[in-house]
Structure 1
Amino acid sequence: MDLDQTLLEIGGAPVTPYHLFSVACLFSLLLLVAAVIFAWRAQAGRREEHLAAERRRAELEYRIAELSGALKSLAEQSHGSQMQLVSALDERLDQVSQRLGLNLTDQTERTGQSLAQLHERLAVIDAAQKNIMSLSSEMLGLKEILSNKQARGAFGQARMEAIIRDGLHAGAYAFQGTLSNGTRPDCLVSLPDSPLRLVIDAKFPLEAFNALKAAKGEADIRNAEARLKADVLKHVRDIAEKYLIGGETHETAIMFVPSESVYAELYEKFEDVIQKAHRARVIIASPNVLMLLVQTLQAIFKDVRMREQAGLIKAEVTRLLEDVARLKERVGDLQKHFGAAAGDLEKLAVSAEKITRRGLKIESLELEEPAIELARPKLMEQG
């Protein structure tokens, strides 16, 4: 290779391989110098670090010696303080033990009294818990009844039947009677002096009320209220369509609600539903309202029975007056007999008095003349 051959030009100056080799040698020399300088500096640094470590080790040994002396002095002081502390603790422990013994005795007595009182209260609580458990089981049973549609219907039917049986006689009502259209209402009450019968339905829908109770948000409450209105009005329409029959049933039917709280909430918050039910000739009745209705019907039945018995009572009074008239006549006859007997008794008394006087005269020998004596028997006969 020719060392003078021009490889390239930089700023008009030619660059040859010789120039490149010279630059490479110079660069290697600089690197060698730099390595030597770095090695010398590293060795000087290690010597300085070794000297610094020696100084630190000497200072550390001196500090350890000082610390050992201080620890020894501290140990001796701590031993003396510990002995004093142990002595003071023994005295205080003796005092505390005495006080603790007294307090424990007193506390034991108080604890015994408290345990006795606690035992009595636990007995009361146990009895109350049994009552609560019994009530809870009853409430669970009631909840199951109210959650089951068929069982809830049977529950409402049972309450309605109990009220009807307690207030009306057996011939005034019929449960599950059949109408001319084939329907069977829960109760039919026969009205006095009328062929019409009053219909009572006990299957009130409660699912919507439960949904309204469980609703939390505003939207859920609106939906539950709308469902409640729809269910109640549907049941009202069903009662009006199935049970209101002209010439057979009364123009008004009763929808029985077996809960006073549901009845109160319905009248308080859903007055429009009540008004629509009235226009459909369906009256919503709670147990108390149904009981009042039954008592009114009972009074009506009583008045009807009194009117039915009025003719019999009048005939009996007529017979009684006839018996009184006959009694009066017989009393008059008896009074006449007593009057005649009284006259005879007065005559007998007069004769007895005359005989008495005559006997006294005979006893005193005050006799009169024969003519007079003969006349006396005639006078006595006339008397």
Structure 2
Amino acid sequence: MISFFQQILIYSDIILLVGMLCIAVLLIALWRRQSWFIRQITDQRMAVDTRFSAMEQLMRGQERQLMEMLLNDRERQRTALHQLQHQIQRLLSQSHQMLEKRLGELQRQLLDEGGQLKVNLVERFDQFQQRVSHTLAENRVNQQESLTQGIEGIGRQLLEGLTSTAESLGKQVNQLVESNDQRLKEIGGLVEKRLSEGFEKTTETFNRVLEHLTRIDEAQKRISELSSNVVSLQEVLSDKRSRGAFGEVQLTALISNLMPESSYSLQHTLSNHTRVDCMLMLPEPTGKIGIDAKFPLESYRKMTDTEASEQVRTRAQSQFRQDIRKHIDDIAGKYIIPGETSDGAVMFIPAESVFAEIHGHFPDLVDEAFRKKVWLVSPTTMMAILTTARAVLKDAATREQVHLIQRHLHLLSKDFGRFQGRMDKLAVHIRQAHEDVKDAAISANKITKRFGQIERVELDELPPSTSIARIGETVEGL
């Protein structure tokens, strides 16, 4: 678009420049033609003046010769005055008669030649004036026609260029508006689709959470009802491997049901070469959160054994406190790495009863875990945490889409602002071209008026009749 507008402007400037150059060339040619006519008239007048000057010098030379002859005759007559008085008088009378006769003939000859020269000059001036008038009229008509055709051609070219430019610009504006409308519709449809999908998935997730909670309640009821047919928790968790496998299986089931696969990693290896049971990949500023599923339950089993003595249960309770504290320290030291993981980690307790026991009878452990940023969670609270994490992931994805939409809208706003600026520049150039056309029309009118003035111009600041009359008077005076 930029190069197209620049080409239009360059072509308009070139057309205007060529028009002005043509006008200037026509004016220079007319001025040179007029100068040539004036030089021709001036040369002819100078030739006539030269001829008249030569005739005047000739007459003066003859008069000087006559005067010299008379002076010589007078000197000779003075020397022989007494001797040749009668002869001198006779010679003087004869000489006088001859001189008068000769002067009369010379005067008649000069008058005849002057009249003939006057007639010839008048005829030549009339012919020259007619030729000059005819030539000037033809030149004026031809120049007016060529100038009018040139101006009309320039006007047509400018009008066609402006019309095509306006049509092209209108088409481009319509295309841009249609493209922007289509783009906005697509963006709006995409946003609406994403929001609808997000709402549907959120609703589906909550329904699934409620369904899982219902299933868990039913499972707990069935466990309590069928306790005789199920191995007790103490027996299942008596071995470390069985305990760890049980916690990992339960944690894996919860995470796989609630979180997308891209948001967590099982048995994730950290930079300190330790392996965490599960690593949640949450958006910033939360980051990566490690979850440990290996909970020490040997002391808890002894502490809750009703058949054991009070002393044994007391020692088991103390050992349980030490095991929990040590496990909190291990999690804080292994799974909290500045710059790599979040500033906290999660201790997954696979039994609700153990979780309730810790919160009910060991508040100091809860406070210590809170200070060291190790969060104690049970299956129920873990489900709530995972649901919240899923909502955070969806919110982050939605924010990314919103940022994308905002970026496209910002780019669209920039494009429209650039388009508005170019439209303003084009309007300025169109107005300038309109003003240039008006100026060219004014210049054409001035040139036409100047042709009229040139047709009526006075040759050598005098009308031809006055010049001819003065030449005739000069000839008659001679």
TM-score (structure 1 length as normaliser) = 0.46
Higher alpha-carbon Rg: 1
Higher relative contact order (CA 8 A, sep 6+): 2
Richer in helix (by share)? 2
